[in-house]
Structure 1
Amino acid sequence: MKNARIIILTSILTAIAGVASSQMKAKTPVVYDFSYLDRKIGGWVDSGYYKGASIIIVKDDEVIHQKYFGNYTPETVAYIASAGKWLAAATIAAVVDDGKLSWDDQVKKWLPEFKDQKGEATLRQLFSHTAGYPDYQPEGTHPDNYQTLKESVAHIVDLPADAALGTKFKYGGLAMQVAGRMAELAAGKDWETIFQEKIAEPLGMQLTHFTPVSNVGGQNPMLGGGARSSREDYAHFLNMIIHNGVYKGKRILSEKAIQEMQADQVGNAEMTDPYVENTRASERKDVYGLGEWREEVDAKGNATLISSPSWAGAYPWIDKKNHVYGFMLARVAEMKNGFNSFLGSPVLPLLVRDVLAQANMKNVKHGYVTTVDGAKLYYEETGKGEPLILIHWHSFDRTEWDPQFFELAKKYRVIRYDLRGYGWSSMPSENQKALHADDLKALMDQLHIAKAHIVGLSLGGFIVTDFLALYPGRLLSATAASGDFFDVPGPGQLWTAKEAEIQHEKIKTWQAKGIQASKQEWFNKLTVRNGKNVESLRQPVWNMIYKWDAWQPQHLEPRFLLGNEAEARLRAQKITVPVMVLTGDVDADVPDRLLKVVSSAKQVIIPNAGHVSNLENPDGFNEKLLAFLNTIKLKEDEKN
Structure 2
Amino acid sequence: MSIKCVNTLLIQCFCFCLCSCNFHPEGTETQKYDFQPIHQTVQAWVDSGYYNGAGLMIARNNQVILDTCYGNYTPEAQVYIASAGKWLAAAAIAAVVDEGKLSWDDQVTKWLPEFTDVKGTATLRQLFSHTAGYPDYQPQGVKKDDYQTLEESVAHIVDLPADTVPGAEFHYGGLAMQVAGRMAELATGKDWETLFQEKIAQPLGMKNTHFTPVDSVDGHSPMLGGGARSTLHDYTAFLDMIFNNGVFRGKRILSEKAITEMQADQLRGAKIITPDYVRKVRAEQHKGVYGLGEWREEVDSLDNAVLISSPSWAGAYPWIDKTTDTYGFFITHVNVEKANQAGFSSFYSSPVLPILVRDVYKEAALPDSVERGVVPVENGTIYYQEAGSGEPLIFIHGHSFDHSEWEPQFPVFAKHFRTIVYDCRGYGRSSMPDENQPFRHVDDLITLMDSLHLEKAHLVGLSMGGFIVTDMLALHQDRILTATAASGDIFPVPGPSEPWTAEGIARRRDEIAALKANGILQQKWDWLAGLMSKGGSNLENIRRPVWDMIYRWSQWQPLHIEPRLVLGNDAVAILKSEKIDVPVMVLTGEVDYKGPRKLNECIPSAIQKIVPDAGHVSNLENPKAFNQLVMDFINENKSN
Specify the TM-score bucket, using the shorter chain as the normaliser.
over 0.9
* CA shift for structure 1 position 590: 4.5
Larger radius of gyration: 1
- What displacement does 1:116 show? 1.5
Select which of 435, 444, 452 maps to 1:439. 444
Task: Note if contact 1:82-1:310 (Cα within 8 Å) is conserved in structure 2.
Answer: yes
Q: How do residues 420-439 of structure 1 correspond to structure 2 at under 5 angstroms?
A: 420-439=425-444
SS of the equivalent of 1:92 reads helix
Aligned to 1:552: 557
Once residues 214 and 306 of structure 1 are traced to their aligned partners in structure 2, the CA distance between those partners, rounded to angstroms, is 27
Rounded to whole Å, the distance in 1 between the matches of 2:332 and 2:617 is 36
Alpha-carbon distance change, 48 to 403 in structure 1, aligned in 2, over 3 angstroms:
same
2:35 alignment partner in structure 1: 34
Task: Mark the CA change 1:220 to 1:604 in structure 2 (over 3 Å): closer, same or farther.
Answer: closer
Write out per-residue CA displacement over residues 122-156 of structure 1, whole angstroms, 9 at most, x where no aligned residue.
00000000010000001100110112001100110
1:18 maps to none
Could you tell me which residue of structure 2 aligns to residue 571 of structure 1?
576
The match for 2:282 is 280
Query: CA–CA distance in 2 between the matches of 1:35 and 1:531?
Result: 36
CA spacing shift, 1:58–1:530, aligned 2, 3 Å = closer
Q: d(CA) in 2 for partners of 1:72 and 1:193? A: 28
Q: Confirm whether residue 344 of structure 1 aligns to residue 381 of structure 2.
A: no
CA offsets per residue over residues 388-421 of structure 1, 9 Å max, x none?
A: 1111111111111111111221211211111001
**Structure 1 residues 205, 366: CA separation in 2 closer, same or farther (over 3 Å shift)?**
same
CA separation in 1, counterparts of 2:595 and 2:235? Answer: 54
Higher alpha-carbon deviation: 167-176 or 112-121: 112-121
2:118 counterpart letter in structure 1: Q
Q: Which runs of 5+ in 2 are unaligned?
A: 1-26
Q: Give the aligned partner of residue 222 of structure 1.
A: 223
CA contact (8 A) 2:193 2:212 kept: no
> Any idea what SS the aligned residue of 2:203 has?
coil
Alpha-carbon shift at residue 530 of structure 1 (Å): 9.0
Q: 1:235 is matched with which residue?
A: 236
Aligned partner of 1:599: which letter?
Answer: P
Label 1:562 to 1:228 Cα distance change in 2 as closer, same or farther (>3 A): same
Decide whether aligned partners of structure 1 residues 259 and 151 sit closer, same or farther in structure 2, where only a CA change above 3 A counts. same
Partner of 1:410: 415
Distance in 2, Cα, partners of 1:528 & 1:600:
32
Measured after TM superposition, the shift of residue 54 of structure 1 is 0.9
Q: Which amino acid aligns with 1:88?
A: A
Distance 2:214 2:586 in 1: 66
TM-superposed CA distance for 1:214, in Å, is: 7.0
Change (3 A) 1:60 1:419: same
CA contact (8 A) 1:94 1:253 kept: yes
* 1:286-309, Cα deviation, whole Å (9 max, x unpaired): 110000000001111111100000
Give the equivalent residue in structure 2 for 1:7.
Answer: none
Whole-angstrom CA distance in 2 between matches of 1:529 and 1:466: 28
Structure 2 counterpart of 1:179: 180
Q: 1:480 to 1:530 in 2, by over 3 A?
A: closer
CA contact 2:534–2:615 (8 Å) conserved in 1: no
Q: Does the residue aligned with 1:331 lie in a helix, a strand or coil?
A: strand
Change (3 A) 1:532 1:632: closer
Specify the code of the residue in structure 2 equivalent to 1:236. A
Letter in 2 for 1:223: L
User: 1:532: how far off?
Assistant: 11
Is the CA contact 1:279–1:347 (under 8 Å) kept in the aligned structure 2?
yes
Which of residues 351, 367, 372 is equivalent to 1:366? 372
1:411 is paired with a residue whose SS is coil
Alpha-carbon distance between aligned partners in 1 of 2:237 and 2:28, rounded to the nearest angstrom: 26
Match of 1:455 among 442, 454, 460: 460
> What is the root-mean-square deviation of aligned Cα atoms in Å?
1.7
The answer (yes or no) to whether the contact 1:148–1:220 under 8 Å persists in 2 is no
Inter-partner Cα distance in structure 2 for 1:495 and 1:287: 47
Can you give the 5+ residue segments of structure 1 that lack an aligned partner in the other structure?
1-25, 636-640
State whether structure 2 residue 604 is matched by structure 1 residue 603.
no
Identity %: 61
Alignment CA distance shift 1:532-1:147 (3 Å) = farther
C-alpha contact (below 8 Å) 1:392/1:456 kept by paired residues: yes
Question: Which residue is equivalent to 1:12?
Answer: none
Residue number among 285, 289, 300 corresponding to 1:298 in the alignment: 300
Q: Give the letter aligned to residue 367 of structure 1.
A: G
Give distance in 2, aligned partners of 1:420 and 1:144: 48
1:633 corresponds to: 638
Task: Please state whether the residue corresponding to 2:439 is helix, strand or coil.
Answer: coil
Deviations along 1:91-142, one digit per CA (max 9) or x if unpaired, are 0000001111110111111111111211111000000000100000011001
The offset of 1:529, in angstroms, is 2.7
Q: CA deviation at 1:29?
A: 6.3
Match of 2:5 in 1: none
Which one-letter code corresponds to 1:167 in the other structure? Answer: A
Q: Deviations over 1:339-359 (max 9, x none)?
A: 001001001111111111001
Contact 2:538/2:622 (CA < 8 Å) preserved in 1? no
> Offset of 1:518 from its aligned partner?
1.6
Q: 1:584 to 1:502 in 2, by over 3 A?
A: same
**TM-score, normalization: structure 2?**
0.92
Deviation at 1:331, TM superposition (A): 0.6
Report what 1:620 is aligned to. Answer: 625
Cα deviations across residues 79-100 of structure 1 (Å, max 9, x unaligned)? 0000000000000000001111
Q: State how 1:34-433 maps to structure 2 within 5 Å.
A: 34-213=35-214, 222-272=223-273, 273-334=275-336, 335-336=339-340, 337-362=342-367, 363-371=369-377, 373-433=378-438
TM-score by length of 1: 0.92
Aligned with 1:328: secondary structure?
Answer: strand
Q: Is the 8 A contact 1:32 1:356 kept in 2?
A: yes
Q: Structure 1 residues 489, 64: CA separation in 2 closer, same or farther (over 3 Å shift)?
A: same
Q: For the residues of structure 2 that align with 1:141 and 1:244, how far apart are their CA atoms? A: 41
Give the C-alpha shift of residue 472 in structure 1. 0.8
Q: Secondary structure of 1:313's partner?
A: coil
Distance 2:606 2:74 in 1: 59
Deviations 1:170-204 (A, max 9, x none): 00000000000011111111111111111001111
Counterpart amino acid of residue 316 in structure 1:
P
Measure, in 1, the Cα distance between the counterparts of 2:30 and 2:547.
32
CA contact (8 A) 2:61 2:325 kept: yes
Tell me the amino acid that sits aligned with residue 315 of structure 1.
Y
Runs of 4+ off more than 6 Å: 26-29, 530-533
- What is the rounded CA distance, in whole Å, between the counterparts of 1:449 and 1:105 in structure 2? 71
Deviates more, 1:76-85 or 1:38-47: 38-47
CA offsets 1:323-378 (integer angstroms, 9 cap, x no match): 1111111011122211001001001111111111001111211111011x131111
What's the CA shift for 1:53?
0.7
Counterpart CA distance in 1 for 2:597 and 2:405 is 23
Match of 1:510 in 2: 515
**Distance across 1 between alignment mates of 2:390 and 2:151:** 73
Checking the alignment, whether the CA contact within 8 Å between 2:29 and 2:65 is kept in structure 1 is: no
Q: Distance in 2 between matches of 1:28 and 1:44?
A: 27
Deviations 1:582-631 (A, max 9, x none): 01111211440111211331010011011111111111111111111121
Is it true that 1:583 corresponds to 2:588 in the alignment? yes
Offset at 1:533?
9.9
Is 1:579–1:601's contact at 8 Å kept on the other side of the alignment? yes
Give the SS at the match of 1:463: helix
Q: Aligned pair in 2 of structure 1 residues 435, 531: CA closer, same or farther (>3 Å)?
A: closer
Structure 1 CA distance, aligned partners of 2:536 and 2:63? 46
